[in-house]
Amino acid sequence: MTHSPESRDLQKEAEEIEAAFPALRGGTGYTNESRKTIVYNCLSWALGIDWTNYNPEPRCAGYYWFPGIDREWSVRTITQVVEKHSYQLCHDYELEEGYEKIVFYIDHSGSPEHFARQLSDGRWTSKLGKLNDINHDSLDSLAIPAYGKPQLVFKRKREQKQGA
């Protein structure tokens, strides 16, 4: 039996994901939802944006930062960014009818390092650095030293789809 180049690539990407996130080993608790990309980052993905990196540092094509928000990667400035997207701080990670939520993963030094968005079925979606987008059952499955732990949660009313 031969495997196509694409199936080998997908297998290699799964191995990279599971090596970086030990709680996902064996392919349990997550589904791969995309191929690798550097077009967007976890913050923009959590906010529903898949066409740019929200990042205060680079000032070149492919990166965006909000005018009027300090160019620093901190809980304070990222909070201002998510508030511009109509999110408000809340204290409950559980699925709440009519709302979508974003979680900040904060490392041991207090820096926000990763962001995940809750899907309408209660699972979470994350862009894993330069790796893939995944949907995952548990916030804790991505709690590694480089990302920190899920510590802040924000919510906004879920947009109603046209014709729904």
Query: Over the stretch 18-69, which tens digit does the pLDDT of each residue have?
Result: 999 999 998 889 999 988 888 899 999 999 999 989 999 877 777 889 899 9
Whether 77 is covered by a domain: the verdict is yes
- pTM reported for the whole predicted model: 0.89
What is the token pair recorded at 113? 């390092």
Report pLDDT for 161: 64
Half-sphere exposure of 73 (CA within 13 A, CB side): 19
CA dist 124 and 103 (Å) reads 9
**Domain assignment present for 141:** yes
The helix (run of H) or strand (run of E) holding residue 142 is none
CB count, 10 Å around CB of 25?
12
Q: Indicate whether 164 pLDDT > 50.
A: no
Residue 65: HSE in the Cβ half-sphere, 13 Å Cα cutoff: 14
Whether 92 is in a domain gets the answer yes
Cα 59 to Cα 6, 12, 65, 141, 143: the distances in Å are 34, 32, 9, 33, 30
User: Is residue 164 one of the residues assigned to a domain?
Assistant: no
Asked, for residue 132, whether it belongs to a domain, the answer is yes
With beta carbons less than 8 A apart as the criterion, state whether 117 and 48 touch. yes
Question: Is residue 163 one of the residues assigned to a domain?
Answer: no
* Total number of domains in the chain: 1
Is the pLDDT score of 120 beyond 60? yes
**What is the pLDDT averaged over residues 95-117?**
97
Closest C-alpha to 45, from 118, 141, 120, 138: 118
Q: Please, where are the H alpha helices in 21-86?
A: 42-46, 75-84
Q: Which domain holds residue 139?
A: 5-157
Closest by alpha carbon to 110, among 53, 152, 154, 65? Answer: 152
